[in-house]
Chain A
Amino acid sequence: MSQTLPVVFLACKVFEGILESKEESNNVFLDYGLHSIPKQLTKAVQEQLDALPEPSLIVLGYGLCGNGLNNIKAGKHTLVIPKADDCVAMFMGSRKRYMDQFAENPGTYYPTKGWFEVGSDPLSEYKKLIPKYGEETADWLMETQYQHYKKLVFVAHTEDDLKTYRPRALEVAAYCERFGMVYEEYQGSDEFIQKIDNLFDFQDKISEEFVVVQSDGILKQEMFL
């Protein structure tokens, strides 16, 4: 990139407090859990992009996120996105690490702190289902969704985060035992997060671990594969 653009960090709330550009006004954090309805995630990100008046380098704090970023239009901006499936890879430290873990342990549910913060972990989900459907149906719904999982692995990039969220993670884990899920923790690293952080200062050093979409381009799933 020849000229320097203003940098805006448009990210999932899971990165709030972890990754921020120096100027506060240049950070936009969107709600957790938008990925569960990919269409809504696409819409929310697109609206934010379109609303930024000045052509900017937008660092997207997202991965493929269930395809929620497919077809995002760069418009006048340049987009940079970590080449990752989701935040699990980013908290583990690299995509390769995630893929290796994943291949070794199919049937693992990997919550990051965002899951606990927003209450989209299995225990919170169960508690929301009971008043709506009654206990019997709630149990059936949970069993149907979680019966094939073998492990619950809480992933954080620092020991501090593991410590902070461990009590909640253990509560969730105790509930998940009924599905035969075993609890583990995975302390990743801030390797990937550092690389994103560097983008704020060194626009000319974007590595292959990122997808770049030039202005007028469209973000496509195949760029990640």
Chain B
Amino acid sequence: MNEITVLYSNTIAGDADAVVENIQSALDANINPEKILNEGMIAAMQEVGRLFEEGEYFVPEMLIAGRAMQAGLNLLRPHLLDSEVGKVGKVVIGTVQGDLHDIGKNLVGLMLEGAGFDVIDLGTDVTPDQFVEAAKENDAKLVGLSALLTTTMPNMEKTVDAFRAAGMADTVNIMVGGAPVTQEYTDKIGADGFGQDASRAVSVAKDLLSRFED
């Protein structure tokens, strides 16, 4: 097996030590760092997302895989800059007011970081105003809202409304995600994108940012 295949398996298994070793030997073998990231770790996290959705993986497996990817990314990041993978854009993320569950949000943050985004993580229990202020301060055009509970999901709508009230509906795109969130709900509250899982959130984020380039 080549370095990338081994890295892919070890990321899925969540073996952080092995992931770091694999990346080092892949770098030593002059494999393109972007290829190491995309085909080794990001593809693996997509598979982890699928396994979770199918009920074959649970939260612990996902956390451990995420931790392995984080360790790998720490080693790989300086090399990615070397190969001129520039910052794609800024994104502000956080869990909505009342929700303290940050596992999903952290995974999305990790994947966005891997994809070259500058991630501004506001943490948990973030009020609508805090989201608005952070987007303004950082001049971010993209905001990601996360909720695990059906009881806190309505605060996504309040946050979307707060951006509208601040006159930022046209300058900021909002993406939402989390276990109870659906495409229908996303449309209903007028959010701009729905990330069904962490890897799909990255495609949505890229897509939303590209709207500003036109």
Contacts and interface: CB of A to CB of B under 8 A. Distances in A.
In which size bucket is the chain A interface? 20 to 34
Contacts of A39: 53-55
Interface of B is mostly: loop
Nearest to A132: B60
Contact of A221 (B64, B97, B149, B180): B180
Interface in A47-97: 64, 66-67, 70, 85-86
Contacts of B185: 221-222
B101 A148 contact: yes
Nearest to B97: A106
Contacts of A221: 150, 180, 182, 184-185
Contact of A141 (B63, B154, B188): B63
A148 B102 contact: yes
B59 A145 contact: yes
A225 B154 contact: yes
Given A141-B64, A222-B188, A36 B58 contact: yes
Contacts of A137: 64
A222 B184 contact: yes
25 contacts: A38-B179, A39-B53, A64-B180, A67-B182, A70-B182, A85-B149, A85-B150, A99-B151, A102-B98, A102-B151, A103-B98, A106-B97, A107-B100, A129-B60, A132-B60, A133-B60, A133-B64, A140-B67, A144-B63, A145-B63, A149-B100, A220-B184, A221-B182, A222-B185, A224-B150
Interface of A: 36-40, 64, 66-67, 70, 85-86, 98-99, 102-103, 106-107, 129, 132-133, 137, 140-141, 144-145, 148-149, 220-222, 224-225
Interface of B: 53-55, 58-60, 63-64, 67, 97-103, 124-125, 149-154, 179-180, 182, 184-185, 188
